[in-house]
Chain A
């Protein structure tokens, strides 16, 4: 112990403080990310459930062919996009998973939320333009923000784009 005290004068103390900060700050951020990220995720899931119920009766498919009894009057492209990031805690857990393999559940939810959100935004646009149904929905995912540098952790962000053709049907003419 005496030796340790001796080493802690001036420069030694400075180095100790620096290394505690260097380890402590990311650790603190990971803990903060765990609590904040978890509450954000819960709120987002609740929001998605609610929004998806709104569109429960809306016809959304990824088929190209319209049902034969449908009489289209107008059609247009609808797009919804979102960039979703993971948090420090999720990346920390995923980092461990990378060593031992298996499901990266923490990152699965990030992509799931992003896809559902993108589809809802597409539907918002479709409804805003007066669509009655959306056909040929395509969902595309692009990973952005990954750093090429090995020393820097990647930001693990994904951009999800959902797009489809909104169709407005011909109303029955008044007779």
Chain B
């Protein structure tokens, strides 16, 4: 599955639009990571545990979006957007959406 966050997919031609596809996931913080993050937050800097956690979650949201696009018979998604929102204390929602399309390589 090819992804792009522009309306087109450079190097490819869009043949058909299959509509909006989206994927989301809500993740709660891990108790062990939470404790370490609390300690890290005294001295600041990157909190690697959370970076990994949110990246994994984003991959999952992307994966769900891709699965939906596959079901629609698309081979690419254009204009992909990511959004993160905090739904409740200690949990974050990762959301990805885009337009499923059928593309063909430019000649």
Nearest A residue to B44 via CB reads: A87
User: Closest CB of chain A to B55's CB: distance in Å?
Assistant: 5
User: Closest CB of chain B to A51's CB: distance in Å?
Assistant: 14
Nearest B residue to A39 via CB reads: B43
Q: Number of contacts between A and B (CB, 8 Å)?
A: 131
Count of A interface residues, CB-CB < 8 Å: 50
Query: What are 24 A-to-B residue pairs whose CB atoms are below 8 Å?
Result: A32-B42, A33-B42, A40-B44, A72-B10, A72-B11, A75-B12, A77-B5, A79-B58, A79-B82, A81-B51, A82-B46, A83-B46, A83-B51, A85-B37, A88-B42, A138-B81, A142-B84, A142-B86, A143-B86, A145-B41, A163-B80, A165-B5, A165-B6, A167-B10
- Cross-chain contact B43 with A159 (CB below 8 angstroms): no
Contact with A along B27-64 (1 / 0, CB 8 A): 00000000001101111111110110011001000000
User: Closest CB of chain A to B37's CB: distance in Å?
Assistant: 7
Q: B residues touching A (Cβ–Cβ < 8 Å)?
A: 2-7, 9-12, 37-38, 40-48, 50-51, 54-55, 58, 80-86, 89, 92, 106
Q: Which residues of A contact B85 (CB under 8 A)?
A: 142
Q: Which residues of A contact B9 (CB under 8 A)?
A: 75
Q: Which are the 9 A-B pairs with shortest beta-carbon distances?
A: A87-B44, A72-B10, A142-B84, A77-B3, A72-B11, A83-B50, A36-B43, A75-B10, A165-B4
A62 to B85, CA, bound (A): 23
Apart from A36-B44, A64-B7, what are 4 other A-B pairs with CB-CB below 8 Å? A36-B43, A40-B43, A110-B44, A144-B84
A155 to B54, CA, bound (A): 17
Q: What does DSSP make chain A's interface, helix, strand, loop or mixed?
A: strand
| Among B37, B43, B45, B106, residue most surrounded by chain A Cβ atoms (within 10 Å) | B43
Q: Which residues of B contact A75 (CB under 8 A)?
A: 2, 4, 6, 9-12
Do A66 and B86 contact each other (CB < 8 Å), given the known contacts A36-B43, A77-B5, A117-B46? Answer: no
- Cross-chain contact A161 with B44 (CB below 8 angstroms): no
- Cross-chain contact B11 with A167 (CB below 8 angstroms): yes
